[in-house]
Structure formats: structure tokens, C-alpha cells
């Protein structure tokens, strides 16, 4: 089996490459990534020594380069993680989100059609459902809900989902889509909530909590996400959408306090800053479909996963300190300087 994993040098893509190489000793994997600010080839170092893994530095919107590698490698399955993924950056500059997340997906699907790919899997997000009210804990996202995006990021991901389903219906491209809740774990870029708070707390810097910190996210350990996608690409039904989430809802402020407690740092580091524009209130996944159809259940509870994650960041300081020493400084100043 030949598998293409796009966005392989990012957070979830790299974890997925490691998971798949380990789980399927007979599969060959190509990791494709254009190495944007969020992609880091150093992350893939353990895989680069594996003869069953190849890395290709290709932008998914580059039709010629994409077609060339599809022609060479004869992919059976494509798993598309490549995306611009940070909501705050999409509010600053939406254009690149539309280019990569929508047009890049189209380029990959055209190549998949042309070269006879047997399954195109689109890695989607629960943010395409918009948000849920804080005072209705009974409401959860189900696959049949309409798409109502709040940010340029989620609008671009919703557009990509619609395009994927259209390629299935119009051109018979075999597809599946997964829509997962917020991930956390090793190798997450320190602009996202959990690694940013770990990095700041470690350095005794203020922890910027948006608004009152009451927004709720539904957290899933990254390896549980990788396992779910593995199940979907093998046993998921053509043309279907699968929600992935583990009933782990937490208010942001509670996540921040757990991190501080675990690191032995004072809550006085918490600083409330101006809220994000259009800030989604609550995400919460109903994972009944993937559980009942494919037997997936999460295995890592938040209490354990957050400890493992914090320990990973403590043990791998050089990985994220390298990152926050570069362009990240300007980003941080732009995003948080006058907030």
C-alpha cells in the first residue's frame, strides 16, 4: 500500500506518519509538505531514517509538482492534512487560507482522479459546524448538521469539505471526511492554546487568556485522532463524514489552570486579554457514528494526556525553543503586543 500524507511536517501529520509506520510495517508512506512556518522537517527526523518513508517538499497548490509525484508513486490512499490551521492568523490574513485549504484540496483531488487513487481522505475540523451555546450542554455536533463557519479558517475548511463531497458525487472520486475536535499532544506548534501556555508558564511569562476564558473546547489526544483516521481509511464508507471526539469538554481557563498546577506555577501569571473576533463559544462532538460503525473509542483521557504532553514539552525544549526564537517573535508581538 502506498500512502500520501500531506502536511506531514505539521503537528497531526507528523504524529500520523509515526503512527502509520509503526502500525503498518508493510506500508510505504510519502510525506508531502511545503514547510510553511508551521512545518518543521526536524520533527520528521525519526521517520527520515526509515526506508519506507520519503519526504517531498511540495506545495499542494503546485499542480505540476503534485501531478509529477502522483505519477511516480502510484498512491493508493491520500490523507490530506496540509492546511493553514490557526484561526487567529486567518483573521489577520485570510487569503492564504483560501488558497491552501480550498484550492490545494482541489489540486490533490484532480491528481487523485487522474492517477486512480482508491481513497481520498480529507482531514476536516468540527469548526465547520460553527459553535454551540454555553448554556445548552445537551447539544452536540452531529454529521448531519449544516455547515456554519465563523472564521476565515473554518469557512475555508467548510468549503473544502463541500468540494470533497462534490468530487465524490460528480466524478465518483472515492472519499471520506473526518471532522475532529481540538487536538493536543507532542509537536503542536506553540501558537495554539496548550503549547503556548506551557511555553509561557515555563518562562514565567503572562498567559494570555482571551475574553473571560469561558469558551469551551472538546480536547482529544492526537494519537486517538490518528487511530480514528487509520480506521476510516480502511473501513469507512465511501462518501461518508465521520466526527471524531472523546467527550472531553473543558473551559479554556480550566485548561490553563491545570497546566499551571502541573508546572507548579502561580495563577497570577494568567492575564485576560481582548477577546478573539467572532470567537466560537463551545465545540462538542457527538462521536456515536464512528463508534458504532467502526468501533472507535478514545483511549487517552485528558487527565493523562495533558500530563504526557506537558512532560513532552519539558523533555523537548530544544524543539519548541528553536521555533519561538524565529518569526514567532514577530507573530507574538503582532498578536499579543497591544492586546
Q: Say whether 76 is catalytic.
A: no
7 contact, one of ligand TYD, ligand NAD, none, CB 5-8 Å limit per kind: ligand NAD
Cβ nearer to ligand NAD, comparing 100 with 252:
100
The DSSP secondary-structure symbol of 83 reads: S
Contacts of 152 (CB under 8 A, 6+ apart): 90, 91, 94, 97, 98
From the list ligand TYD, ligand NAD, none, pick the one residue 215 interacts with, judged by a Cβ distance below 5 to 8 Å according to partner type: ligand TYD
Residues that bind ligand TYD (CB under 6 A): 87, 182, 192-193, 196, 208-210, 215, 217, 252, 276
Please state the closest distance from residue 267 (CB atom) to ligand NAD, in A.
25
Of 19, 129, 153, 184, which is the active-site residue? 153
Three-state DSSP state, 334: helix
Task: Label the pairing between strands 2-6 and 28-33.
Answer: parallel
Residue nearest to ligand NAD as judged by C-beta position: 10
Which neighbouring-strand residues pair with 271?
208
Nearer to ligand NAD, 41 or 272 (CB): 41
Which residue is catalytic, options 59, 126, 161, 223?
126
* Active-site residue flag, 153: yes
Residue numbers at the binding site for ligand NAD (CB under 6 A): 6-7, 9-13, 33-36, 38-39, 59-61, 81-85, 100, 104, 123, 125, 157, 180, 182-183, 189
CA distance 181 to 141: 10
Cell 480529507 belongs to residue: 122
User: If we measure between CA atoms, which residue out of 110, 98, 247, 251 comes closest to residue 181?
Assistant: 247
Name the minimum Å distance from CB 164 to ligand TYD: 20
Contacts of 288 (CB under 8 A, 6+ apart): 142
Catalytic residues: 126-127, 153
Amino acid at each position: 500500500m502506498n500512502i500520501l500524507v500531506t502536511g506531514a511536517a505539521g503537528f497531526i501529520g507528523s504524529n500520523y506518519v509515526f503512527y502509520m509506520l509503526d502500525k503498518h510495517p508493510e506500508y510505504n508512506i510519502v510525506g508531502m509538505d511545503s514547510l510553511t512556518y508551521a512545518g518543521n522537517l526536524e520533527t520528521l527526523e525519526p521517520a527520515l531514517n526509515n526506508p519506507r518513508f520519503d519526504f517531498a517538499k511540495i506545495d499542494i497548490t503546485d499542480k505540476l509538482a503534485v501531478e509529477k509525484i502522483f505519477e511516480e508513486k502510484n498512491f493508493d490512499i491520500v490523507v490530506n492534512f496540509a492546511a493553514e490551521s490557526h484561526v487567529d492568523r486567518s483573521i489577520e490574513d485570510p487569503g492564504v487560507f483560501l488558497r491552501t485549504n480550498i484550492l490545494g484540496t482541489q489540486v490533490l483531488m484532480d491528481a487523485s482522479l487522474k492517477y486512480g487513487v482508491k481513497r481520498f481522505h480529507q482531514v476536516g475540523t468540527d469548526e465547520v459546524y460553527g459553535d454551540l451555546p454555553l448554556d445548552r450542554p445537551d447539544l452536540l455536533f452531529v454529521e448531519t448538521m449544516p455547515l456554519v463557519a465563523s472564521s476565515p479558517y473554518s469557512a475555508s475548511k467548510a468549503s473544502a469539505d463541500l468540494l470533497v463531497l462534490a468530487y465524490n458525487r460528480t466524478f465518483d472520486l472515492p472519499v471520506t471526511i473526518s471532522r475532529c475536535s481540538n487536538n493536543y499532544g507532542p509537536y503542536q506548534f506553540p501558537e495554539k492554546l496548550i503549547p503556548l501556555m506551557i511555553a509561557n508558564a515555563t518562562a514565567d511569562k503572562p498567559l494570555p487568556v482571551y475574553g473571560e476564558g469561558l469558551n469551551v473546547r472538546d480536547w482529544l489526544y492526537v494519537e486517538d485522532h490518528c487511530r480514528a483516521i487509520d480506521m476510516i481509511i480502511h473501513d469507512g464508507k465511501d462518501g461518508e463524514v465521520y466526527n471524531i471526539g472523546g467527550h472531553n469538554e473543558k473551559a479554556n481557563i480550566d485548561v490553563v489552570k491545570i497546566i499551571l498546577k502541573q508546572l507548579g506555577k502561580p495563577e497570577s501569571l494568567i492575564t485576560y486579554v481582548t477577546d478573539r473576533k467572532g470567537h466560537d463559544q463551545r465545540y462538542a462532538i457527538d462521536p456515536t457514528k464512528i463508534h458504532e460503525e467502526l468501533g472507535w473509542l478514545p483511549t487517552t483521557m485528558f487527565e493523562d494526556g495533558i500530563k504526557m504532553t506537558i512532560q513532552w514539552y519539558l523533555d523537548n525544549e530544544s524543539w519548541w525553543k528553536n521555533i519561538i526564537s524565529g518569526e514567532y517573535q514577530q507573530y507574538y508581538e503582532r498578536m499579543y503586543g497591544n492586546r
